[in-house]
Structure 1
């Protein structure tokens, strides 16, 4: 039952990350925001892992592999997305850049992991990308500065490399202790960079506290546990294809929560993205 429903629950939770970022970033610098988020995540997961006597990695090599995967999946990806949005990159462009991840993962998995990508999967990946382009077409604006675009590209490379690295070097680990091992280097690296380039300015408003709590519990704990489970259970291409569903789901949530416009091309794009994921995961 978990294997059947985990992909769709993951998509729903992961899609709320953009909503949480939109609510919280006006009140905090991006890396400072993430540093507080990671500290809270560790304060929850470490006692939980110890209380449940979860098994820890057996040797230094496992610690290194799991920590490196976490740094790529969380530190590089989330850091790039938050910095891009903070510097004025529209959410539509951010989603479109990061939406290249399934195609990039499929190409890399075929070369690096030897995963066979069928014609049906390639067709599904292309359809999914076309669907994302339609979904974000009404949100993309011109004049975005280069300093806002490059963090989104870094985020794309980070999550692609993290998915492939974890699938190759550490696909199986205890989800309780492994999450701690993943977030520990992420928290340290993010805090060091934040201390060098930011002032740790945070406005502790009700909106920010709500966004922070949601991102910690629903995203960093719930969605990441599901992502690790999916990477362990399926191919890199199958996991990556789910990210095509994030922009359409985010658009629906923004329509419901913020009253953003939902146009006919966006609805058509959602249908294409869903069809693409269906073909890719068969």
Structure 2
């Protein structure tokens, strides 16, 4: 029972916390612009992490390591979150953006082949093909109205979704190539700090920075900071210490369907038959790649 708790329930909780980030964004975006909302989230998170770093007597990396962590933060948090938030604000359903960025393991594998010269197995190539076919079916239904579905979204939101997918994929490859082995709290703070600067430039350069502190925004902000930015990271720390971090990777492909169910229940976001089939194919493709990587 104890091993089952370590190997399944805790990693599943981490994946659930991650999936709620898309839901929290949709709750908060009507009351603040994307970069403004993200800037507030990062600042609050950094304040809390500073206290945690003081309690844990965190060891800080050198300037070179900090620079690599900052680049990773700009990609994994800055581009990824910025793209997700602007796509959702533009009208893309939470389940769709979750599915698109859920292709990250596929894109990371392709990038690793080009950048790190890694070899790819036949199973991984099959996973890549499944992922692309599945997302194509989902987008075909939503954008072309196949099957009588008229609940589309603006085409330009795909650009933000692709920015998000590219950011987290390239950031993962960069982290793998320039990993510093830094303390997790210190590394997270540096990454969040770099992302906060990125969001500050966007908020002060392109947004009005007007915030309506309504109750839904306060609740979503509290959850995004405590549940996602802090809770998920602390849970990841615990998993790493228990040696179960690989289980997180093997469960990540469950994020899109969990997000889709949450969005259906909370926002009545519906997927037609073609989109559900496409989503299933994409998730299968990601599973083929991720489970192979976890097995290694």
CA deviations on 1:98-139 (whole Å, 9 max, x unpaired) are 344333211111121233321112223333444455567665
Q: Distance in 2 between matches of 1:4 and 1:187?
A: 33
- Residue 25 of structure 2 aligns with which residue? 21
Farther-moved stretch of structure 1 (47-56 vs 255-264): 255-264
1:189-204 equivalences in 2 (<5 Å): 189-204=198-213
Q: What secondary structure sits across from 2:60 in the alignment?
A: coil
- Residue 255 of structure 1 aligns with which residue? 264
1:169-188 equivalences in 2 (<5 Å): 169-170=178-179, 172-188=181-197
Q: Structure 1 20/70 Cα, relative in aligned 2: closer, same or farther at 3 Å?
A: same
Q: Structure 1 123/7 Cα, relative in aligned 2: closer, same or farther at 3 Å?
A: farther
- Residue 112 of structure 2 aligns with which residue? 109
Q: What secondary structure sits across from 2:58 in the alignment?
A: coil
Q: Structure 1 274/87 Cα, relative in aligned 2: closer, same or farther at 3 Å?
A: closer
Q: Structure 1 75/209 Cα, relative in aligned 2: closer, same or farther at 3 Å?
A: same
Contact 2:91–2:153, Cα closer than 8 Å, also in 1: no
Q: Distance in 2 between matches of 1:109 and 1:242?
A: 21
Farther-moved stretch of structure 1 (3-12 vs 186-195): 3-12
Q: Structure 1 82/274 Cα, relative in aligned 2: closer, same or farther at 3 Å?
A: closer
1:214-225 equivalences in 2 (<5 Å): 214-224=223-233
Farther-moved stretch of structure 1 (180-189 vs 5-14): 5-14
Unaligned ranges ≥5, structure 2: 144-150
Aligned length: 275
Farther-moved stretch of structure 1 (66-75 vs 102-111): 102-111
1:80 aligns with 2:90: no
Contact 1:46–1:177, Cα closer than 8 Å, also in 2: no
Q: Distance in 2 between matches of 1:89 and 1:202?
A: 22
Shift of 1:194: 0.5
Q: Distance in 2 between matches of 1:268 and 1:68?
A: 37
Q: Distance in 1 between matches of 2:109 and 2:230?
A: 26
Q: What secondary structure sits across from 1:182 in the alignment?
A: helix
Q: Structure 1 33/169 Cα, relative in aligned 2: closer, same or farther at 3 Å?
A: same
- Residue 167 of structure 2 aligns with which residue? 158
Q: Structure 1 143/35 Cα, relative in aligned 2: closer, same or farther at 3 Å?
A: closer
CA deviations on 1:229-249 (whole Å, 9 max, x unpaired) are 78x966xxx95x865433222
Q: Distance in 2 between matches of 1:23 and 1:247?
A: 18
Q: What secondary structure sits across from 2:130 in the alignment?
A: helix
Q: Structure 1 103/279 Cα, relative in aligned 2: closer, same or farther at 3 Å?
A: closer
Q: Distance in 1 between matches of 2:174 and 2:89?
A: 28
Shift of 1:95: 4.0
CA deviations on 1:38-93 (whole Å, 9 max, x unpaired) are 00100111110111102111x21001011110111101111111122223344455
